[in-house]
């Protein structure tokens, strides 16, 4: 493909070498609609990967909201405007009563930055506990808690990690005491912080542990961890950038699944279907503690256009009943994937909730050797067959399913068929090693 090669060269020439593309043969997408993406040759791809276009690529309601507001007014939060308030009202109505204040930012990174400032201001502490192999963002401070990229020797002494719970291959897999044992690591982390001279400001956790591979978490773990961090004077920060807004089906937010109410919730990616909007939702005593130390302003955050887009997303989720649909399609897909596992030994584990599902591929089911190369090959083969999917997890052997929420059973069937064929192709003896 001559055009593709030219675009790749132009990219490197103009953007430098730090940018990466998906796939050895990158896709040149020119149009999107619902769960479909179309390349420059008119080829269509089922989008099983992108969680930002939450209510579907180019949803007309969101596009219309952006257009109407963009041609009317776009200013900032130092003038009065109703839309930011209408949205904050709609958003907080979906949270437990104590999470009553919304503060806006533009990216998940910025929301997590703000959460850390709030936690520090409220507790007077600066210690941070975070899971291993977590992703929380790209700024300097947030890269310190993005433990999948920043190695231990590059982290400051106020950052301490705990293992992410994992009932499939984690250290307490199968242990009925796993929740207590994992929570005990939080207590040890607090002790380690103390020995480093820090008290805990917060334990921050992606409530589905997405970057850790969406592991199954023992019941009660997060509740116990929250109690421990609270007793030590710290806060629980729930990073809901990926799990939030109904993706999990029966749970509008990931923390609900754990039966716990966080002190601070951070939101991002799907919030405005791709318009850069993020936020922190928290309690009044926390915004009060912060406001005694600082004012807050972010030029592009909480603007009329951003809030109009975010409001349209909430309305579409409700009117199209997307959380319920996500639950139903997700249940169906998980069941069918488990059926698929009876024919494909490589499927070691299927887990998730709603339309956030992971498939862990293993070379055998005895020692759970991660099928790393096979996972990469499955991603490539599925792309060849017009299905866009990607991998994640500590070993990068987990296929990650998190499509726009308009993904329905017919799309699930298509994915199941292609995945079955691809796994068959990979496991067959053939020209490649393995």
Instruction: Quickly list H helices, 124-251.
Output: 140-144, 178-195, 221-231
Query: Minimum distance from CB of 380 to its own copies (Å)?
Result: 15
Nearest distance, CB of residue 88 and its own copies, angstroms: 4
Least distance (Å) from its own copies to the CB of residue 312? 11
Least Å distance, CB 242 to its own copies, is 11
Please provide the distance, in angstroms rounded to a whole number, between the alpha carbons at the two ends of the chain.
30
Q: Which residue has the tokens 């939702």?
A: 281
Name the burial class of residue 93, with classes exposed (0-12), middle (13-18) and buried (19+) by CB atoms within 10 angstroms of its CB.
exposed
Beta partners for residue 126, in sequence order: none
- Residue 60 CB, nearest approach to its own copies (Å): 7
Residue 71 or 429 having the CB closest to its own copies: 71
Output 16 or 429, the one with its CB closest to its own copies.
16
Rounded to whole angstroms, how far apart are CA atoms 160 and 89? 36
Nearer to its own copies, 217 or 273 (CB): 273
Identity of the residue, 17 or 430, whose beta carbon is nearer to its own copies in the bound complex = 17
Please give the backbone phi and psi of residue 4, each rounded to the nearest 5 degrees, phi first. -60, -45
Of the candidates 208, 269, 235, the residue with the CA atom closest to the CA atom of residue 55: 269
Q: Could you give the C-alpha distances from 334 to 90, 102, 206, 242, 286, in angstroms and in order?
A: 31, 34, 21, 19, 39
Q: Exposed e or buried b for every residue in 225-245, given b needs 16+ CB within 10 A? A: bbebbeebebbbbbbbbbbbb
Of 219 and 288, which has the nearer Cβ to its own copies? 288
Q: Provide, rounded to whole angstroms, the least separation between the CB of residue 149 and its own copies.
A: 7
CB of 27 to its own copies, least distance (A): 5
Q: CB of residue 189 vs its own copies: minimum separation in angstroms?
A: 21
CB nearer to its own copies: pick between 295 and 433: 295
Say if residues 397 and 361 touch (Cβ distance below 8 Å): yes
- The residue behind tokens 């691809």 is 422
Spatial contact of 309 and 272, defined as CB atoms under 8 Å apart: yes
Judged by beta carbon, residue 10 or residue 171, the one nearer its own copies is 10
Q: Are 155 and 149 in contact (CB under 8 A)?
A: no
Give 107 or 353: the residue with its C-beta nearer to its own copies.
107
């Amino acid at each position: 493909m001559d055009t593709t090669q030219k675009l790749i060269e132009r990219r490197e020439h103009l953007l430098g070498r730090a940018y990466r593309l998906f796939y050895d043969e990158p896709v040149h997408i020119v149009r999107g609609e619902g769960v479909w993406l179309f390349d420059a040759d008119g080829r269509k791809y089922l989008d099983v990967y992108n969680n930002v276009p939450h209510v579907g690529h180019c949803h007309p309601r969101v596009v219309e909201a952006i257009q109407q507001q963009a041609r009317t007014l776009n200013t900032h939060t130092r003038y009065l405007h109703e839309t930011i308030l209408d949205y904050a009202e709609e958003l907080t109505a979906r949270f437990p009563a104590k999470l009553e204040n919304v503060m806006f930012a533009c990216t998940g990174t910025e929301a997590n930055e703000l959460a850390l400032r709030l936690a520090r201001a409220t507790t007077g502490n600066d210690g941070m506990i975070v899971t291993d192999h977590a992703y929380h963002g790209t700024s300097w401070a947030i890269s310190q808690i993005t433990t999948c990229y920043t190695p231990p020797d590059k982290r400051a002494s106020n950052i301490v990690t705990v293992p992410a719970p994992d009932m499939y291959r984690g250290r307490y897999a199968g242990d009925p005491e796993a929740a207590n044992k994992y929570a005990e690591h939080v207590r040890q982390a607090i002790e380690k912080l103390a020995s480093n001279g820090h008290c805990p400001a917060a334990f921050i956790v992606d409530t589905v542990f997405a970057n850790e591979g969406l592991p199954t978490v023992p019941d009660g773990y997060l509740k116990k961890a929250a109690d421990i961090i609270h007793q030590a004077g710290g806060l629980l920060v729930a990073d809901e950038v990926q799990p939030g807004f109904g993706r999990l089906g029966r749970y509008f937010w990931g923390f609900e699944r754990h039966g716990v109410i966080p002190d601070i919730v951070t939101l991002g990616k799907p919030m405005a279907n791709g318009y850069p909007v993020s936020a922190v939702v928290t309690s009044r005593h926390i915004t009060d503690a912060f406001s005694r130390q600082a004012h807050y302003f972010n030029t592009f955050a909480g603007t009329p256009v951003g809030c109009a887009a975010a409001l349209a997303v909430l309305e579409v989720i409700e009117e199209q009943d997307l959380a319920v649909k996500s639950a139903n399609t997700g249940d169906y897909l998980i069941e069918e994937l488990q059926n698929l596992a009876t024919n494909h030994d490589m499927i070691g584990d299927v887990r998730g909730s709603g339309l956030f599902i992971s498939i862990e591929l293993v070379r055998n089911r005895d020692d759970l050797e991660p099928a790393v190369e096979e996972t990469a090959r499955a991603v490539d083969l599925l792309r060849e067959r017009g299905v866009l999917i990607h991998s994640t997890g500590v070993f990068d052997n987990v296929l990650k399913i998190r499509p726009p929420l308009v993904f329905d059973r017919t799309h699930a069937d298509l994915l199941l068929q292609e995945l079955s064929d691809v796994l068959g192709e990979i496991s067959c003896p053939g020209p490649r090693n393995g």
